[in-house]
Structure 1
Amino acid sequence: MAAPELTADLVGEFLLRLPPDEPASLVRASLVCKPWRRDLSDPTFPRRYRAFHRHPPLLGFFLNRFRSQPRFVPTTSPSPIPQPALDYGDCFALDCRHGRVLLTISGATQNLVVWDPITGDRQGLPEPPIPFDTYSTAAVLCAVRGCDHLDCHSGPFLVVAVIWDTTVMDLLAYVYSSEDGAWNASAHLGLAYSPTRAPSVLVRDDIYFTVIPYYRFLRYSLGGNSLSTIKPPIEHETEDVVLMPLENGSLGLAGVLRSKLFLWSRDVERWVQFRVIELEKLITIMPFDKAQVVGSAEGFGIIFVVTDSSIFTIELQSSRVKTVGKRGDYFATLPFMSFYTPRYLEECLCIYSHMKDIHDVGSKSYIKKLMKRFSIKCAPLRVRFAAPKPKFAGLMERWLNGMLLSFPKITRNTASVVCQIEPSIFHSCEKRLKDVQGRVDVLSVPEHAEGGSSVDQHGNAKESQTMPAKESGVNCCSNK
């Protein structure tokens, strides 16, 4: 007896609840059956999916390396962003926000490029009024007022560049608009500060950069087109710290002193310490080892801490710690947040939803492409083979050994055994058993597993519920 079918409404609610921080789950769901593929390829599904989850997930982070391309470290498995994803030589990731990465390419002059890792789009920017060199930094952000930043990939953007002009010994700011295609608004500070390549942070309409000497913070007001500076807490004037937006919309700061993580908030014109975390209780810090804050994920309450051996993420609300990499020749960490709904996947799903048979040549090519990209493998299928006793011994000797999950069960006229096989050989096994008047009973439904691991979510079916091989299977939906 077949299992009851899931209604269309239940399937739709289930698909909406697939975790956005595991993009491969959408791919696995598309391989279940044709109706699921139709639902996922519906043009309205990406919008409803983003609206349901409300916040873009953290997919990973970029690490800048000396004399090399930035390295993307995924926090999901498998990574949706290919490696290597750039064909530039010596480049540096300056900023990462609203689904975009801002790169500077080294050469005779340094060129700025805005890159969307999800769509693959890249847009080179014209040279700012003052050449962008090693005494410069910049930030990228969505240009749409009131945007929820759930899907900014094709929208307009701004780039705010802060440049130290050595000819007049002044710090200048310029803003590039993708809608205008030019650098326009500008402001100057009138003080001798040089920007660093530390990550910037966006709080309301203000962008904050780190400048030296003496570790000051440079605030650029988008609305007022003005520059000003803020001093860090006196305890952190000579230490590396990271700025971050707090849940209440104010500016926050995180810094490490003597293996303790200090958290501060900006209250009008002063810093207020609101929490201290004992890092030695959360991570392993060896003698003479130094912990340092190197980045924060805007809107997530997550900070990145490095020691001499590892890179960690710490969720400030829960104090949950996760090791996300090993320490290397890195000097900046840029979290990447975005929904992963790539164009090629949506197009493939639309094409695949109109295929009549999963065994079509086009279908097989599509599945292979997705399985290679997302490292998806089919889990083994649990089946029971039954055959007349005179024929069973020959089958055991020729091809059943090595797949057995139980001892053979012998009755008066037949013998049976439970085996584990790859779904790809099911039809050949079925044909061979039919040739000897045998049959195949499917005891579990194949799942899709990541990284080559085989997972059986369903367990064994009841022994009494057997069926001819021709009708075997469990219906999760209708394929009409």
Structure 2
Amino acid sequence: MTCRRRRRRGSLPAPPPPLEDDDILREVLLRIPPQPSSLPRASAVCKRWRCAAVDPKFTARFRAHHGKPPLLGFFQCRDDDIMFAPVLAAPDRVPPERLDLHSEAHLLGCRHGRVLVFDVSRAEVLMCDPITGEQRRVAIPPEFKTGHVNGAVLCADRGQGHVHGGCRSSPFKVVLVFMRSPDHRPLACFYSSETDTWGHLIPTEAPHPGSACCGGAQSILIGNVLYWFYAIYGILQFDLDRQSLDVIEAPLGMNVPRNHDIVQAEDGTLGLTILSQPNIQMWQRKVNCQGVATWVLWKTTEMHGILGLSPPTEVVKRGAELILGYDQDANEMLLHLDGTVYIVQLKSMQSRKLWESDHVTACHSFNSLYTPGDCSSLVLIL
């Protein structure tokens, strides 16, 4: 009996099955950076590499491995057209003309690899996938033809392990908010591509703000709640689970257009950035033990303390600084200072110069993770 026990304790586990060559190749490809040029360039090596790079099982693993997709650039309305401004350097820089939408419709937002625009003349919203060129039009409810409209698009897949940004075949949702005439109180409506129907109108009893426009504002998704600015009065909040619309009063300092933006705070809650020379203030929405929510100032940074910005003497007059947009995935803010656009990482407060422009308009971040099979019509500057 003793000898048998010794033999069992000393037995070695069975060796793992040998890896096939294709399995080793996929493990190598899985670890290359998720930048736009990575997989297309790898797939150009040979037929075997391309077959591995476009395999649906591999691309699903690739997205899951890298998580959040990279920021490719920003969409903005310019000269009655929707233009794309890339932010990456070659070989990952996407030529802007490849993603320009060439549409006179109103840009409402970008999320999960899709762009949402509002075609006023046709009373439709248009969902675009700029990478593949796929488009889908949906007629809006008749009430939305009479107000200032804003909205958001998002992927409807909430399955465990699903990674947004390259989920082009997944169902999607659209939320529209608008200022109802003549009292300018906000209403919302929810659309599901799975049922191809709009839900009922969702009102809120918000006070009249005195200024009714909310069009053009970028939405932020925190948890399962969407947020937009509501003129200079506060923030619109749409809860996707409860299908409810509310208004949150904002802290003081939001009385100057484009000097503030909604952000995600470091603990994953609702936050605000307010720009006021010579400081950037970071506010956070806190809920106390009694369930009462208040705004708390959690960080103040002087402008000259941001690495990469022009020295204070080169930033001319007060009021030349504007917030143009926000990339939630990377927690980066788009900042316009006297004709120069910078992107600022809000945690490290480091920045880099993107481009020079006197054109000031809201910018919507576009993040996408794609494979060679997704972008046959997309040519990178390699």
**TM-score strictly above 0.5:** yes
Match among 171, 175, 182 for residue 186 of structure 2: 171
Q: Is 1:302 aligned with 2:339?
A: no
CA RMSD between the two structures: 2.5
Give 1:332 shift: 0.6
Name whichever of 115-124 and 324-333 sits farther off.
Answer: 324-333
Give 1:160 shift: 0.9
Instruction: Kindly indicate whether the alpha-carbon contact (under 8 Å) linking 1:65 and 1:330 is maintained by their aligned counterparts in 2.
Output: no
- Match for residue 443 of structure 1? none
**Structure 2: distance between partners of 1:178 and 1:9:** 37
Alpha-carbon deviations, 1:41-63, whole Å to 9, x = none?
A: 33322112112112211111112
Q: Secondary structure of 2:97's partner? A: coil
- Match for residue 234 of structure 1? 252
Alpha-carbon deviations, 1:176-208, whole Å to 9, x = none?
A: 111121211321123435223211111112111
- Match for residue 374 of structure 1? 380
- Match for residue 68 of structure 1? 81
Closer, same or farther: CA 70–82 of 1 in aligned 2, 3 Å: closer
**Structure 2: distance between partners of 1:90 and 1:323:** 29
**Structure 2: distance between partners of 1:344 and 1:205:** 28
Match among 128, 132, 147 for residue 119 of structure 1: 132
Closer, same or farther: CA 221–87 of 1 in aligned 2, 3 Å: closer
Closer, same or farther: CA 26–133 of 1 in aligned 2, 3 Å: farther
**Structure 2: distance between partners of 1:207 and 1:375:** 35
Q: What is the TM-score normalised by the length of structure 2?
A: 0.81
Instruction: Kindly indicate whether the alpha-carbon contact (under 8 Å) linking 1:241 and 1:294 is maintained by their aligned counterparts in 2.
Output: no
Q: Is 1:203 aligned with 2:217?
A: no
Aligned pairs for 1:344-355 (under 5 A) are: none
Q: Is 1:97 aligned with 2:111?
A: yes
Match among 135, 139, 143 for residue 130 of structure 1: 143
Match among 251, 276, 282 for residue 270 of structure 2: 251
- Match for residue 344 of structure 2? 314
Closer, same or farther: CA 154–304 of 1 in aligned 2, 3 Å: same
Aligned pairs for 1:62-461 (under 5 A) are: 62-77=75-90, 78-80=92-94, 83=97, 85=99, 88-107=102-121, 109-132=122-145, 135-146=148-159, 147-167=162-182, 169-191=184-206, 192-193=208-209, 194=212, 195-212=214-231, 214-238=232-256, 240-268=259-287, 269-282=293-306, 283-284=309-310, 285-288=314-317, 290-343=320-373, 373-376=379-382
Closer, same or farther: CA 124–270 of 1 in aligned 2, 3 Å: same
Q: Is 1:46 aligned with 2:70?
A: no
Structure 1 unmatched ranges of 5 or more: 1-6, 349-368, 377-480
Closer, same or farther: CA 144–35 of 1 in aligned 2, 3 Å: closer
Give 1:276 shift: 1.7
Work out the number of aligned pairs and report it.
343
Closer, same or farther: CA 86–60 of 1 in aligned 2, 3 Å: closer
Instruction: Kindly indicate whether the alpha-carbon contact (under 8 Å) linking 1:64 and 1:330 is maintained by their aligned counterparts in 2.
Output: no
**Structure 2: distance between partners of 1:44 and 1:145:** 19
Closer, same or farther: CA 344–286 of 1 in aligned 2, 3 Å: closer
Q: Secondary structure of 1:223's partner? A: coil
Instruction: Kindly indicate whether the alpha-carbon contact (under 8 Å) linking 1:19 and 1:25 is maintained by their aligned counterparts in 2.
Output: yes
Give 1:163 shift: 1.5
**Structure 2: distance between partners of 1:25 and 1:133:** 46
Alpha-carbon deviations, 1:434-455, whole Å to 9, x = none?
A: xxxxxxxxxxxxxxxxxxxxxx
Closer, same or farther: CA 82–288 of 1 in aligned 2, 3 Å: closer
Give 1:106 shift: 4.3
**Structure 1: distance between partners of 2:95 and 2:124:** 23
Instruction: Kindly indicate whether the alpha-carbon contact (under 8 Å) linking 1:132 and 1:163 is maintained by their aligned counterparts in 2.
Output: no
Give 1:326 shift: 2.1
Closer, same or farther: CA 89–79 of 1 in aligned 2, 3 Å: same
Q: What amino acid sits opposite 1:15 in the alignment?
A: L
Give 1:256 shift: 0.7
**Structure 1: distance between partners of 2:300 and 2:329:** 20
Give 1:70 shift: 2.8
**Structure 2: distance between partners of 1:170 and 1:150:** 33
Name whichever of 140-149 and 257-266 sits farther off.
Answer: 140-149
Give 1:339 shift: 0.5
Closer, same or farther: CA 204–238 of 1 in aligned 2, 3 Å: same
Higher radius of gyration, 1 or 2: 1
Give 1:168 shift: 5.4
Q: Secondary structure of 2:173's partner? A: strand
**Structure 2: distance between partners of 1:344 and 1:203:** 28
Instruction: Kindly indicate whether the alpha-carbon contact (under 8 Å) linking 2:284 and 2:297 is maintained by their aligned counterparts in 1.
Output: yes
Give 1:82 shift: 5.7
Structure 1 stretches of 4+ with a deviation exceeding 6 A read none
**Structure 2: distance between partners of 1:216 and 1:186:** 21
Instruction: Kindly indicate whether the alpha-carbon contact (under 8 Å) linking 1:138 and 1:161 is maintained by their aligned counterparts in 2.
Output: yes
Closer, same or farther: CA 175–374 of 1 in aligned 2, 3 Å: same
